[in-house]
Amino acid sequence: MAATLLDMSTTQAARFAYMAAFHAAMAALVVFNGDSPKTHSGVRSEFSLLARDNTAFGKGMGRFLARSYEYKDAADYRFEAPIPREEAEDVIAAAADFVSQVKAAVARSFAAPSRDP
């Protein structure tokens, strides 16, 4: 969807890319921590800790989530000039990679043998 929005609004396209990463982070927190915070700042903070401590995630994933929040903030609360198309495309690609990495980490966690007695 974010890529489709590029022709209408680069800022909204980048916002949707952040939201995809945000929801992937929430899912990862539920799988790995058992619960997810209810706020954007809580999810960003908790996911950053998870990504730092869990080798299943790339080192920059927590930073990406924190940085890309600015696009949501700009789209929702600030009326600025649209971001350049190339920048929006980069955010969309990075968010797609983020979602793929979370999906793979979650899949591996379910495929791992259970440690419960």
In a domain, 80, yes or no: yes
* CATH number for the domain harbouring residue 87: 1.20.120.330
Rounded Cα–Cα distance for residues 58 and 63 (Å): 10
| Boundaries of domain holding 46 | 2-107
Two tokens at 46?
Answer: 């908790």
In a domain, 94, yes or no: yes
Rounded Cα–Cα distance for residues 35 and 13 (Å): 28
DSSP letters for 45-67: HHHHHHHHH-TTS-TTHHHHHHH
CA angle, 50 then 44 then 90, to 5°: 105
Query: What pLDDT score does 115 carry?
Result: 54
Convert the pLDDT of each residue in 71-101 to its tens digit.
Answer: 999 999 987 778 999 999 999 999 999 999 9
In a domain, 112, yes or no: no
Query: What pLDDT score does 89 carry?
Result: 95
In a domain, 43, yes or no: yes
- Tell whether the model's pLDDT for residue 32 goes beyond 90: yes
> What are all long-range contacts of 60-66, with beta carbons under 8 Å and residues at least 24 apart?
61/98, 61/101, 61/102, 64/21, 64/94, 64/95, 64/98, 65/18, 65/21, 65/22, 65/25, 65/98
In a domain, 13, yes or no: yes
Query: What pLDDT score does 47 carry?
Result: 97
pLDDT-derived band of residue 114, with 50, 70 and 90 as boundaries? Answer: low
Rounded Cα–Cα distance for residues 31 and 63 (Å): 20
pLDDT-derived band of residue 46, with 50, 70 and 90 as boundaries? Answer: very high
- Total domains, the chain: 1
pTM: predicted TM-score of the whole model, two decimal places = 0.89
In a domain, 117, yes or no: no
In a domain, 33, yes or no: yes
Convert the pLDDT of each residue in 54-76 to its tens digit.
Answer: 998 988 999 999 999 999 999 99
